[in-house]
Amino acid sequence: QDVAYRVTVSPVAGPGAAALTFEDVTEAEQMGQMRRDFVANVSHELRTPLTALLGFIETLRGAARDDAAARDRFLAIMEREAERMNRLIRDLLHLSRVESEERVRPTDRVDIAALLASALALLRPLAEAQNVTLTTTGLDGPLPVPGDADQITQVLTNLIENAVKYGGAGGKVTIRLSREALPRGPGLRIDVIDTGEGIESQHLPRLTERFYRVDGHRSREKGGTGLGLAIVKHIVNRHRGRMRIESEKGKGSVFTVVLPEA
């Protein structure tokens, strides 16, 4: 990797004295590139449904004007595209919130077992629709950790939703609660285990990048924005926790989060 320096000479007090500053601009350059990529990605993701919406509005005004069946079909597609934009904007707002608040230490204590139970109650219909069995195993509550209830709910929801979405119809999703020591003290470990399609190892290091998807078409078809795991990573960092992903193509995946208990 190339390293770039910006060297500046600035006068300081004293006869003939000057200060040389070496500033590593490699990272700044990379940040700039990432920002540009991000804006390009967001624009692309928003423009696709918008183009579809504009196209269908035009059709409704013209060819489909007097065709009730076509009108209903087009309106259903327009609704789906508008919902997609809505989800994307919701996830962008979540992401920007958790990115800007990084490394703030949460002061509230939340009960992971209770948050998990509510998240599961909301996700059951999705799982049932795909014939996926959801089970929990391991520790019983209450399991208090310092944290932000909404954000931890989001971590649980995103991981379980992915496990159901990519776990394959008729599969099994297990949420296992256990303890694992962190460098600074005790931790509560949450494993979200699916028996689904799995992920090839070359993708694993990039999965938590914004908009990174193994299969973009498939993700969009399932209502994905490509931001879910990026949000999870930031929330876990913000709680000074750890995140790991293990997966085997064709066998399934394990997404692990360990949160400090104190």
Is the separation of the CB atoms in 197 and 170 below 8 Å?
no
Tell me the site size for ligand ADP, rule CB under 6 A.
21
Please identify which residue in 115, 166, 175, 177 interacts with ligand ADP, judged by CB under 6 A: 166
Is the separation of the CB atoms in 165 and 221 below 8 Å?
no
Measure Cα distances from 260 to 5, 79, 189 in Å: 38, 42, 9
Tell me: does residue 191 bind ligand ADP (CB under 6 A).
Answer: no
Helices (H), the chain: 26-61, 68-100, 112-129, 149-166, 216-221, 228-238
CA 110 distance to own-chain centroid? 21
Please identify which residue in 145, 229, 235, 258 interacts with ligand ADP, judged by CB under 6 A: 229
Q: Which of the 8 DSSP states describes residue 204? A: G
What is the Cα–Cα distance from 197 to 208, expressed in whole angstroms? Answer: 18
Please identify which residue in 151, 154, 174, 219 interacts with ligand ADP, judged by CB under 6 A: 219
Tell me: does residue 197 bind ligand ADP (CB under 6 A).
Answer: yes
Query: For ligand ADP, which stretch binds (CB under 6 A), given 40-48, 54-62, 98-106, 213-221?
Result: 213-221
With respect to ligand ADP, which residue has the nearer C-beta, 197 or 260? 197
Query: For ligand ADP, which stretch binds (CB under 6 A), given 64-72, 113-121, 134-142, 189-197?
Result: 189-197
- The one-letter amino acid at 120: L
With respect to ligand ADP, which residue has the nearer C-beta, 34 or 181? 34
Question: Which residues of this protein are in contact with ligand ADP, per CB under 6 A?
Answer: 158, 162-163, 166, 194, 196-197, 199, 207, 213-215, 219, 224-230, 253
